[in-house]
Structure formats: C-alpha cells, structure tokens
Amino acid sequence: MKPRSSARDLALIATFTGVVAALGVVPAFYPAGIPVPITAQSLGVMLAGAVIGARRGAASLVLLLALVAVGLPLLAGGRGGLGVFAGPSVGYLVGYPVAAFVVGWITEKGGAPYRLSWGVVANLVGGIVVLYALGILGTAWRAHLSVPAAVASAGWYVVGDLAKVVIAALVARGVHAAYPGLLPAATRRADRDRRHEHPIST
C-alpha cells in the first residue's frame, strides 16, 4: 500500500509552507483602529489549497503554525511565538489550515482540467467565507469587540481579498496546466475516464 504521506507529498507541503512564509515578507498594514493587520499571507492559504489540494494544503498551514508557535518570525511583520495566538489575529491563524482544506476540497471536487470559474468559487468560499467566519469570531473574542464591530473591521480586507481570490485562481490554473494530475481528485477522475474509454473485458 502506498504510504499516506509520500516524499512528494512532504516536499509539496514544505514548499507551500515556504510560500506562505515568504508572503509574510510583504509588510503588514494596520489601518487605524483595526486590531488585525492586512497581510498577503491569505493569498498563500488560497494557493496552498488550490494547487496541492485539501489534505496537503491544510498540512502546509499546520506546519507553518507549528513553526510560528516555536518562535520563528514567519508571520507578516516578523511576528512569531505563542503570543500571537493570544492576540486578535488568532481566529484567522487557526482558520488558515481550515480555509486551505476547504479551498482544496472544493477544487478537488471540480476535477480536471482546472476551471477558472470553479477555482474562483473555491477560493471565495474557503479563503473569504470560511476564513472570515473564524477570524471574526477570534477578533471579537480577543479584542473584546461585539461581533457586529468585528464584522465591520473585517470590511477593510474585502477588496484586497477579492483580488487575491482571482490571483490565486489564475496562478492555480497555470500550475495545473503545467503539472496535470497534481491534485489527487484530478488524478482519480482522469483514471475513471480512461477506464470508461477502455473497459477491461472479462
């Protein structure tokens, strides 16, 4: 039986951990009165799910958070350590692997070839709806805000995140065109299609 986490899986997971960490080099922006910074790292969350799928995408973000927890300054603004999980960003941080999983799961359901419209929907649901839901709850809890106030603060992120949704889908389409079969579900669908075209006689 093939190991659940092959060397290729581990390499992809590590690669996308690095991608999200690299996006942390982009300076964080703190709008006046908003407790959670605007960063580029949610783009990496969408890319992880859209390119390497649900399980591996989520694992790459779990690895990132583990490295942050032990003190590596991998979050935007050079943040790291357990203290970041006690701040108003905690909901978004915990939501990173969840959002990547949802993006990947929806992407896998679309199968191959990767469709831009389906990719936009996957990124929108996972990267905005799911991530915002968890992030807003965390902000309300740790910043001692009402939920409506936390929702209002999240309004600062919407325009930029909508752009990230489209960018991630475009990048993912290019990657899947260059490396077909990268997503597990896409591979399974291709195998089913080949079996239907060439049935095995008994």
In DSSP terms, 29 is beta-bridged to: 38
- pLDDT value, residue 181: 80
Q: How far apart are CA 45 and CA 188, in angstroms?
A: 24
Query: In whole angstroms, how large is the CA radius of gyration of the chain?
Result: 18
> Is 179:172 a contact under the CB 8 Å cutoff?
no
Q: How far apart are CA 27 and CA 140, in angstroms?
A: 24
- pLDDT value, residue 201: 43
CATH number for the region 7-26+34-197 comes to 1.10.1760.20
- pLDDT value, residue 186: 42
- pLDDT value, residue 163: 97
Task: Please name which of 27, 21, 65 lies closest in space to residue 47, comparing C-alpha atoms.
Answer: 21
Count of Cβ atoms closer than 10 Å to residue 104 Cβ: 27
Q: pLDDT by residue (tens digit) across 9-41?
A: 999 999 999 999 999 998 888 877 788 888 999
- pLDDT value, residue 67: 98
- pLDDT value, residue 196: 53
> Is 79:201 a contact under the CB 8 Å cutoff?
no
Instruction: For Cα atoms 95, 119, 171, give the angle at the middle one, nearest 5 degrees.
Output: 90
Spell out, as residue ranges, where the chain has pLDDT lower than 50.
1, 185-190, 200-202
Domain residue spans in the chain? 7-26+34-197
- pLDDT value, residue 193: 53
- pLDDT value, residue 182: 82
- pLDDT value, residue 33: 72
CA diameter of the chain? 71
Residue 118's identity, in one-letter code, is W
- pLDDT value, residue 194: 53
> Is 170:116 a contact under the CB 8 Å cutoff?
yes
- pLDDT value, residue 30: 81
The token pair at 65 is 């958070």
- pLDDT value, residue 187: 43
